[in-house]
Amino acid sequence: MTVKTDAAGNLRGLWKPPDAETKRLILGSHIDSVPNAGAYDGVLGVALALEWVDLAREVKLPLAIEVIAFSEEEGVRFGVPFIGSRAVAGRMDPALLLLKDAGGVTLGDAIRDFRLDPSRLDDAALDADVLGFVEMHIEQGPVLESEGLSVAAVEAIVGQSRLTLEFTGRANHAGTTPMRLRHDALAGAAEWISSVESMARKADGLIATAGRIDVQPNAANVIAGVARVSLDVRHADDLTRKTAVESLLAEARAIAGKRGLALERTQQMDQPAVPMDERLTAFLVEAMAASGLKEKRMISGAGHDAMVVASRVPAAMLFLRSPGGISHHPDETVREEDVEAALHVGGKFLERVVTAVG
């Protein structure tokens, strides 16, 4: 393979059979990580992609394959994820170059310090001669393990809403204020948080989390005057997600009204769901059946490079079972039999690509 590093720090290897057509297949995942990470998130997808190049030789794929090891997927250093894949998708906003890390180094300077040229980021974008992109990745959740399955095709990556709700009551003495005369912001927030959980449990595929709360004054002997709660809502269907957010806000208003609290909300994120390409996904599912595996489709609750690349070229994803559902942790692992399954699926997938382009 011929190897280069593009201006976003993505490591890219191109394999070209002698009589290759002009179209390319792109494979890959990310090679950056998080503090205290495991060994498989991202990098397993790159290792598998390299193995798929060997499989492509066996099935005499008439296309070139470019394997991309994406940089900066997690967003740990600059607080913004998918920097490498944004460049590959041609969606790199130049304003991102001004982002600073904890040491005050800008993204632009970090790229220059790596002896790369940020003015050439546009060159990293994929052009029209791409048949599609396939990313393999550990599931990072418990679904495949709970069903006793090795792999699944990802149908869509969920859309996500992130909001902050602020309940404001009146801080007062915890000993002298009778219960009936209180405006307790924390008690109101707590009532709402339990309704977030119960509402999400009733709706199919809906994930809703109140994961953070800041309370003022946060003292044991003072009734809370302010409680600020985060809300994270995800679903593969954007209308279902938005309707759920509206119902949860209506519930918060009802609770605040009943308790004499003021309610304010700010929205930090409203990101639509990203469906994967139907044809490539069908190839993956057919490849599972041809490998003697159960045909499994699922939704990804986490974002991936494929979600960004999908804005530029047809994209598909294959998940591998995560033992214990554990990821972003040193105990993260993968089963050898599941890696083998991903290779079987790869061979059968590439056979289908051969037929489709032949």
Judged by the rule CB under 5 A, the positions of this chain that interact with Zn ion are 41-42
**Which residue, 41 or 66, is less far from Zn ion as judged by CB?**
41
What's the min distance (Å) between Cβ of 40 and Zn ion? 9
**Which residue, 135 or 166, is less far from Zn ion as judged by CB?**
135
Measure the CA–CA gap between 51 and 19, rounded to whole angstroms.
21
Specify the DSSP class assigned to residue 276: P
Measure the CA–CA gap between 169 and 105, rounded to whole angstroms.
41
**Which residue, 79 or 94, is less far from Zn ion as judged by CB?**
79
What's the min distance (Å) between Cβ of 43 and Zn ion? 9
Measure the CA–CA gap between 82 and 124, rounded to whole angstroms.
14
**Which residue, 307 or 350, is less far from Zn ion as judged by CB?**
307
- Measure Cα distances from 83 to 11, 33, 34, 119, 193 in Å: 13, 13, 15, 15, 34
What's the min distance (Å) between Cβ of 291 and Zn ion? 24
Q: Which of 316, 299, 298 is nearest to 307 (CA)?
A: 316
Q: Which of 257, 233, 129 is nearest to 183 (CA)?
A: 257
Counting every residue, how long is the chain? 358
What's the min distance (Å) between Cβ of 218 and Zn ion? 35
What's the min distance (Å) between Cβ of 198 and Zn ion? 31
**Which residue, 156 or 189, is less far from Zn ion as judged by CB?**
156
What's the min distance (Å) between Cβ of 300 and Zn ion? 10
Number of Cβ within 10 Å of residue 113's Cβ equals 9
What's the min distance (Å) between Cβ of 137 and Zn ion? 6
**Which residue, 31 or 196, is less far from Zn ion as judged by CB?**
31
β-strand partners of 183 = none
**Which residue, 41 or 191, is less far from Zn ion as judged by CB?**
41
Q: Distance between the two ends of the chain, CA-based, in angstroms?
A: 23
Tokens coding 214 = 């800041």
Measure the CA–CA gap between 341 and 291, rounded to whole angstroms.
8
Measure the CA–CA gap between 282 and 267, rounded to whole angstroms.
36
